[in-house]
């Protein structure tokens, strides 16, 4: 089954701007923000924003001294006048394209033109545009409605920005022939035109199945689905991947995925992932089994734990010590425990941002719980055999802190009693993860090794260079995952480095860290062992992977999570070659 993503899909310019603006306000203000009507026609996004404190209201009553946001569709001018008189602050999120239509109707109505709006009567956008027609207005949505237009006037014609392009052309063609004193403005948004063209062209290419992702009450999404139905194409209009079922695609060979203007990228990514899973299950059971195996290994952080084991083992090898795998095992168990416990605390967020990972944890809850308890118990036994009390103190402090890191109680303590710097570090989810990982996996083995190292045989610069390179592997891996989850994190409110500094700056930070890691490898190769030059494969792999992720608009999250952890597998293989 071939799966194609439409070139023009997801957030349009107006929706993207509105969502970014409202998210920025939420992040910077603790005040309650009210939106007059749903901000956009996507229930998942609206629900997430409501969970972050946005309140949707449907009446302009009782708005005095409140912060009011105007939805992307705009509001009638009388409502706007009342808002200006009573609201403490207005955040105007009206789409610029809609505002342009309002302006056209306002201008020509003042010149005595009768307004004809081609669109869906009672749609929020149409209601807002109608209010600017001071010299008469009618809303039509079909050729049959033309007969309702009063004769003997001069006319201005505009369209709902998400109206069907072909139907608009048909209606305006008749209007031109019937009325001579008429001005026609095609105000259908370019985004709408391109989306509809994508579907029409794909039908000509030979797709047999169309999947349209977006709110069931979204006009532009409904029209995309209608194009498929009118062409006798098997069409699914869905709001999330949960509405897709294996049996629906048994006879599908070529599937186009498109989405409405209010559909966020993370939902599109989830739909793509579900479709590829269905495709593999039908056509390549072996590949499906392999993908499932790696999904479990990656999303339960088994590969990360194994990589952590080899990082500590490599430290031991360079330092010339042997702990009978005790320190590497503690590192591996630490990583597994941390992610298992924190994923449990973050299950509500996970359900939205990564539903596949959420289901994996939910369906295997007892196995994960038993494995976590076993890992804690074994770690406890191993620590009894380590006669280094500083190591033990640091290990247990980091372990206990990490286990309660995402709990609501710990969040409360941090937000209430911590200085602003600690709050900032805590809020950026990858920073504490990187710190804990680096301390347990790298610094504690070095601390343990100090009592055994013969500095006449090994230079301290060798160990520091190794720590720099291994730290790069940890930090770059988490930064890549931040790039992958960027769209969902932005709306949900997860604060990551790419969200704070922007994708471009985060990318340059990534390249800078790659350069530093390369220098450390050269040092290790020249002054210790030329085999370390093999690790440049990790840096080169990361370089091409980040270029790919940054330049992709939509992608299958699991695929790129696999590629991210594939770099750990490459690292493990090279470690084995060096250690042997």
193-282 classified as CATH 2.40.128.20: no
* Per-residue pLDDT tens digits for 401-421: 888 888 888 888 887 788 877
Helices (H), 418-556: 420-427, 430-438, 444-449, 460-484, 486-492, 497-501, 503-527, 536-551
Per-residue pLDDT at 456: 57
User: Containing H/E element for 54?
Assistant: strand 54-57
**Catalytic residue, candidates 125, 273, 295, 561:** 125
Cβ-Cβ contacts under 8 Å for 32 (sequence gap 6 or more): 53, 55, 66, 67
455 has pLDDT over 60: no
Q: Which residues pair with 35 in a beta bridge?
A: 56, 69
Summarize the confidence of residues 154-160 as an average pLDDT: 94
Can you give the pLDDT at residue 453?
Answer: 64
| pLDDT confidence band for 353 (50 / 70 / 90) | confident
pTM: 0.81
pLDDT digits (tens, 9 = 90+) for 29-39: 778 889 888 88
- Return d(Cα 219, Cα 319) in angstroms, integer: 65
Tell me the pLDDT of the chain averaged across its residues: 88
482 pLDDT more than 80: yes
pLDDT at 101 over 70: yes
Highest mean pLDDT among 377-386, 451-460, 478-487: 377-386
- What does the pLDDT read at residue 534? 95
Whether 513 has a pLDDT exceeding 90, the answer reads yes
- Output the pLDDT for position 10: 80
Percentage helix, strand, coil for the chain under 3-state DSSP, each rounded to 5: 65, 10, 25
Are 350 and 358 in contact, with CB atoms under 8 Å apart?
A: yes
pLDDT at 279: 86
> Is domain 98-188 classified as CATH 3.30.450.90?
no
Phi and psi torsions of 158, nearest 5°: -130, 170
Alpha-carbon span 33 to 41, nearest angstrom: 18
Residue extents of the structural domains in the chain:
12-94, 98-188, 193-282, 293-579
Task: Name the more confident of 67 and 579.
Answer: 67
pLDDT digits (tens, 9 = 90+) for 190-249: 888 889 999 999 999 999 999 999 988 888 899 899 999 999 999 999 998 999 998 899
CATH topology of domain 12-94: Rossmann fold (3.40.50)
Mean pLDDT, residues 343-353: 81
Least confident range from 49-58, 233-242, 449-458: namely 449-458
Q: Which two tokens stand for residue 559?
A: 């695929």
Window from 145-149, 201-205, 261-265, 319-323 with minimum mean pLDDT:
319-323
- The neighbour count for residue 392, using CB atoms within 10 Å, is 15
Query: Residue 85 pLDDT more than 70?
Result: yes
pLDDT at residue 358, rounded to an integer: 85
Q: 273-299: per-residue pLDDT in tens?
A: 899 888 888 777 887 888 888 888 888
Using the predicted structure, report yes or no on whether residue 325 has a pLDDT greater than 60.
yes
541 pLDDT tier (thresholds 50, 70, 90): very high
Find the mean pLDDT for residues 321-326. 82
Asked if the domains at 12-94 and 193-282 fall in one CATH topology, the answer is no
| Per-residue pLDDT, 427 | 78
Tell me whether residue 125 is one of the annotated catalytic residues. yes
pLDDT for residue 261: 85
Window from 43-52, 362-371, 474-483 with minimum mean pLDDT: 43-52
Give the pLDDT confidence of 487-506 residue by residue, as tens digits: 777 777 778 888 888 888 99
pLDDT at 50: 86
Bigger pLDDT: 59 vs 513: 513
């Amino acid at each position: 089954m071939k799966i194609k993503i439409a070139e023009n899909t997801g957030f349009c310019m107006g929706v993207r701007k509105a969502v970014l603006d409202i998210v920025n306000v939420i992040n910077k203000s603790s005040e309650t923000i009210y939106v007059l009507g749903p901000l956009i026609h996507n229930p998942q996004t609206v629900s997430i924003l409501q969970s972050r404190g946005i309140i949707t209201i449907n009446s302009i009553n009782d708005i005095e001294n409140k912060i009011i946001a105007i939805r992307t569709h705009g509001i009638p001018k009388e409502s706007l006048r009342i808002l200006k008189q009573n609201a403490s602050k207005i955040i105007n999120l009206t789409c610029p394209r809609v505002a342009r239509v309002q302006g056209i109707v306002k201008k020509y109505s003042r010149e005595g033109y009768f307004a004809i709006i081609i669109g869906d009567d009672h749609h929020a956008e149409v209601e807002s545009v109608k209010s600017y027609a001071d010299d008469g207005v009618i809303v039509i949505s079909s050729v049959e409605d033309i007969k309702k237009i009063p004769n003997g006037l001069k006319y201005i014609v505009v369209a709902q920005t998400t109206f069907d392009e072909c139907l608009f052309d048909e209606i305006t063609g008749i209007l031109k022939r019937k009325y001579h004193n008429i001005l026609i403005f095609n105000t259908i948004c370019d985004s709408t035109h391109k989306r509809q063209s994508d579907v029409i062209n794909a039908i000509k290419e030979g797709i047999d199945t169309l999947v349209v992702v977006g709110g069931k009450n979204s006009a532009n999404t409904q029209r995309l689905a209608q194009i498929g139905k009118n062409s006798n194409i098997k069409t699914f209009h869905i709001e999330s991947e949960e509405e897709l079922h294996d049996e629906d695609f048994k006879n599908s060979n070529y599937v186009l995925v498109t989405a409405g203007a209010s559909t966020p990228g993370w939902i599109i990514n989830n739909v793509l992932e579900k479709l590829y899973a269905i495709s593999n299950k039908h056509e390549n059971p072996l590949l499906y089994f392999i993908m499932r195996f790696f999904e479990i290994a990656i999303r339960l952080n088994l590969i990360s734990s194994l990589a952590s084991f080899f990082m500590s083992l490599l430290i031991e090898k360079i330092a010339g010590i042997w702990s009978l795998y005790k320190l590497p095992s503690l590192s591996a168990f630490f990583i597994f425990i941390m992610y298992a416990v924190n994923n449990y605390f973050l299950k509500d967020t996970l359900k939205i941002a990564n539903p596949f990972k959420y289901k994996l944890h939910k369906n295997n809850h007892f196995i994960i719980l038993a494995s976590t308890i076993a890992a804690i118990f074994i770690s406890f036994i191993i620590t009894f055999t380590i006669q280094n009390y500083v190591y033990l103190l640091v290990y247990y402090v980091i372990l206990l802190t990490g286990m309660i890191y995402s709990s609501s109680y710990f969040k409360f303590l941090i937000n209430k009693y911590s200085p602003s710097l600690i709050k900032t570090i805590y809020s950026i989810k990858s920073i504490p993860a990187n710190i804990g990982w680096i301390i347990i996996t790298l610094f504690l083995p070095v601390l343990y090794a100090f009592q055994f190292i013969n500095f006449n045989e090994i230079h301290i610069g060798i160990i520091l260079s190794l720590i720099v390179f291994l730290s790069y592997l940890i930090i770059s891996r988490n930064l890549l995952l931040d790039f992958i989850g960027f769209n969902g994190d932005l709306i949900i409110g997860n604060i990551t480095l790419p969200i704070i500094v922007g994708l471009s700056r985060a990318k340059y930070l990534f390249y800078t860290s790659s350069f530093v890691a390369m220098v450390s490898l050269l040092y290790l190769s020249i002054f210790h062992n030329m085999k370390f030059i093999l690790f440049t494969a990790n840096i080169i792999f990361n370089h091409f992977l980040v270029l790919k992720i940054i330049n992709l608009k939509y992608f299958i999250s699991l695929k790129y999570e696999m590629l991210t952890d594939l770099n750990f597998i490459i690292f493990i293989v090279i470690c084995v070659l060096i250690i042997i």
